[in-house]
Amino acid sequence: KAGVTQTPRYLIKTRGQQVTLSCSPISGHRSVSWYQQTPGQGLQFLFEYFSETQRNKGNFPGRFSGRQFSNSRSEMNVSTLELGDSALYLCASSLEVEQFFGPGTRLTVL
């Protein structure tokens, strides 16, 4: 079975721009979660989608949003980028308890 895929792997943006990251879960997995990883704050939960509905949300500003499509693929969007948004963004898909992580998208904001 193919693993979780994330595109793009690397991204460079400037302050004020917006960005969209994509995640394709493992076939059959209906839950997709997003995490932000930074050296200062570590791994933080952004949100989780299940069957196209946001089921859980972390403590991030409204500039961070996401959605899930009927095929379980998910996207997250960050608007009005700030320097502090530079991070590794990880997507994870789940069937039951276990979460399977993708390789991440490295976002650099200049």
Query: What are the residues binding another protein (CB under 8 A)?
Result: 4, 31, 33, 35, 42-45, 48, 56, 58, 90, 92, 94, 96-104
CB of 102 to another protein, least distance (A): 5
To the nearest whole angstrom, how small is the minimum distance from the Cβ of residue 56 to another protein? 5
Output 95 or 110, the one with its CB closest to another protein: 95
Let me know: does 89 contact 107? Beta carbons within 8 Å: yes
Nearer to another protein, 30 or 79 (CB): 30
**Beta strands, E only, the chain:** 5-7, 10-13, 19-24, 31-38, 42-50, 53-57, 64-68, 74-78, 87-94, 99-101, 105-109
- In terms of CB distance, is 19 or 29 closer to another protein? 29
Classified as helix, coil or strand, 4 is: coil
